[in-house]
C-alpha cells in the first residue's frame, strides 16, 4: 500500500513541476533571487565537493536562524566536514548567505521528484541530513534511507492542523515518519502527535529558538535611536502578514498622535512596496529604513517608519517599547515572539498562535505578553501598554527571565543528532 501511495504521490509531483516552475518565475518578478540557480531545484550542481558533507535544511528565515547553533555544534565536532545549508525561499536564502557567507555551501532544496533528489544526493553524498521543524518530504526521505544517510528532524513541531493533514495520507506519511532516525520535538504535545504519525525515535528536547541570542550590535543601534527619540514611545508591528497592516491601521484610526511613533516591518520583502503604498494612501507620512540613516534621523517627524530591510530584527526590537506580533492578528499562526521576549520587549498577540502555541502560552502565563481577540483589541492593548511604562518594565523583565529558563535545547539536540554520525 505504501509503495502504491508513493507512486501516486510521485506522479502528482511530476504533474506539478511545470506549475511549480511557472510559479517560481512569477515570484521572481518581485523577488529576483528566485530566478537564480534554478537548476538546483532539479538537483543540478557543478562546484566540486572535496570534503564530507553535513547537510542542514531550513525552509525559510526562522528555521535558518534556529539551525545556526546546532550546525555550528556539529561542525565543531567534525572540523573536517563541510556544511551544506539548503532552503526553499528567497528570504531563507538571503538569511543563510548573511549568516554563513563562505563558511557553508548554500543551495536550494531540490523539488521532491525522484530524479532531482537522486542527483542531489549523488552529488553531495551527505553523511547526515538534518531537516528543521516540519520539513518531511516523502521521496527525499525514502532516497536518503536507500543511500544509508541518517535523517534527523530537529526542533520538530507538529500542530494539530498539520497532524490531521498528514494523517489523511497515512499510507504515504507513515513510512516517512517511521524512517526518521531521530526526532527532537519541541514539546510533549509535538512529540505525541509525531509518534501518532509513525515516528519511532522521538524525544522532547525543547525549542532551539530560545537559545538564539539577539545580535548585540543591532540591538545597541536600535536602543541608541530609541534614546534619541526622547519621550516619543515606539510601537512596532513586527513581521506582519498579508491583510494585517490594513486591519491594524483601520483599528488604529486617529488614536495614534505624533508622540507615538509607529514602526511596521512586513514579514516578506516582496510586500515592502505594497505596505508603503498602503501607508501613503492612509494619508500618513512615511520614512523607509532602506533610504538610509538620514530618513531615520532622531528628529524625523514621520508618522510611520517602514522597516524594509532583511536581517535587522534585533535592531527593530531594540527600538521598540511595545511589539504587536505579526501573523497572530489574522490566522497565520504567529511569527516568532521569542525574539522580542529575549530583548525584554512586551508582546501583544492576536488570536492566532498555532506556530508558537507553547511559547505563547508560557509568555502569557509569565506576564510577558498579553492577548486580544481581534485587531481593535490588539491596538487597544498596545496603546494601553504604551501609556504605562511601569507595566512595560515588568513585562520586559518577565520575558527575559522566561527565555533564560527555557534555554538548553541546542545541547540536548546536538547530543542526539551527533550520535547519528558516530
State the maximum Cα–Cα separation within the chain, in Å, rounded to a whole number.
68
CB of 363 within 8 A of CB of 344?
no
Choosing from 31, 36, 40, 63, the catalytic residue is 63
Is 142 designated active site? Answer: no
Q: What is the dihedral of CA 158, 166, 326, 388, to 10 degrees?
A: -40
What CA–CA distances, in Å, run from 133 to 22, 168, 406?
27, 20, 18
What CA–CA distance (Å, rounded) separates 36 from 19? Answer: 18
What CA–CA distances, in Å, run from 282 to 97, 203, 277?
36, 50, 9
Q: Write out the catalytic residue numbers.
A: 63
Amino acid at each position: 500500500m505504501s509503495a502504491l501511495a508513493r507512486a501516486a504521490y510521485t506522479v502528482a509531483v511530476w504533474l506539478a513541476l511545470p506549475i511549480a516552475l511557472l510559479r517560481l518565475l512569477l515570484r521572481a518578478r518581485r523577488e529576483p533571487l528566485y530566478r537564480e540557480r534554478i537548476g538546483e531545484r532539479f538537483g543540478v550542481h557543478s562546484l566540486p565537493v572535496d570534503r564530507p558533507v553535513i547537510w542542514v535544511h531550513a525552509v525559510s528565515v526562522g528555521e535558518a536562524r534556529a539551525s545556526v547553533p546546532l550546525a555550528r555544534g556539529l561542525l565543531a565536532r567534525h572540523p573536517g566536514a563541510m556544511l551544506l545549508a539548503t532552503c526553499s525561499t528567497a528570504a531563507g536564502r538571503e538569511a543563510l548567505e548573511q549568516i554563513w557567507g563562505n563558511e557553508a555551501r548554500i543551495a536550494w532544496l531540490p523539488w521532491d521528484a525522484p530524479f532531482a533528489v537522486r542527483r542531489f544526493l549523488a552529488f553531495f553524498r551527505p553523511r547526515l541530513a538534518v531537516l528543521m521543524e516540519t520539513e518531511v518530504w516523502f521521496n527525499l526521505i525514502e532516497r536518503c534511507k536507500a543511500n544509508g544517510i541518517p535523517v534527523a528532524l530537529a526542533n520538530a513541531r507538529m500542530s494539530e492542523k498539520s497532524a490531521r493533514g498528514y494523517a489523511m495520507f497515512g499510507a504515504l506519511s507513515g513510512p516517512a515518519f517511521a524512517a526518521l532516525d531521530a526526532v527532537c520535538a519541541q514539546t510533549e504535545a509535538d512529540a505525541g502527535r509525531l509518534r501518532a504519525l509513525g515516528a519511532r525515535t522521538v524525544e522532547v528536547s525543547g525549542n532551539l529558538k530560545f537559545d538564539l541570542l539577539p545580535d548585540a550590535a543591532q540591538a545597541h543601534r536600535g536602543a541608541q535611536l530609541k534614546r534619541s527619540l526622547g519621550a516619543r514611545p515606539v510601537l512596532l508591528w513586527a513581521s506582519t502578514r498579508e491583510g494585517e497592516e490594513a486591519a491594524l491601521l483601520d483599528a488604529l484610526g486617529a488614536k495614534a498622535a505624533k508622540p507615538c511613533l509607529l514602526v511596521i516591518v512586513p514579514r516578506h520583502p516582496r510586500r515592502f512596496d505594497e505596505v508603503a503604498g498602503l501607508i501613503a494612501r492612509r494619508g500618513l507620512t512615511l520614512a523607509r529604513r532602506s533610504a538610509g540613516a538620514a530618513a531615520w534621523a532622531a528628529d524625523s517627524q514621520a508618522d510611520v517608519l517602514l522597516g524594509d530591510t532583511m536581517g535587522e530584527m534585533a535592531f527593530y526590537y531594540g527600538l521598540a517599547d511595545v511589539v504587536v506580533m505579526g501573523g497572530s492578528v489574522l490566522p497565520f499562526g504567529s511569527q516568532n515572539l521569542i525574539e522580542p521576549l529575549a530583548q525584554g520587549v512586551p508582546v501583544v498577540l492576536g488570536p492566532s498562535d498555532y506556530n508558537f502555541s507553547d511559547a505563547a502560552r508560557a509568555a502569557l502565563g509569565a506576564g510577558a505578553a498579553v492577548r486580544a481577540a481581534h485587531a481593535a483589541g490588539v491596538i487597544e492593548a498596545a496603546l494601553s501598554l504604551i501609556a504605562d511604562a511601569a507595566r512595560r518594565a515588568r513585562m520586559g523583565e518577565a520575558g527575559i527571565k522566561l527565555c533564560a529558563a527555557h534555554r538548553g535545547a541546542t545541547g540536548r539536540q546536538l547530543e542526539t543528532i551527533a550520535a547519528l554520525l558516530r
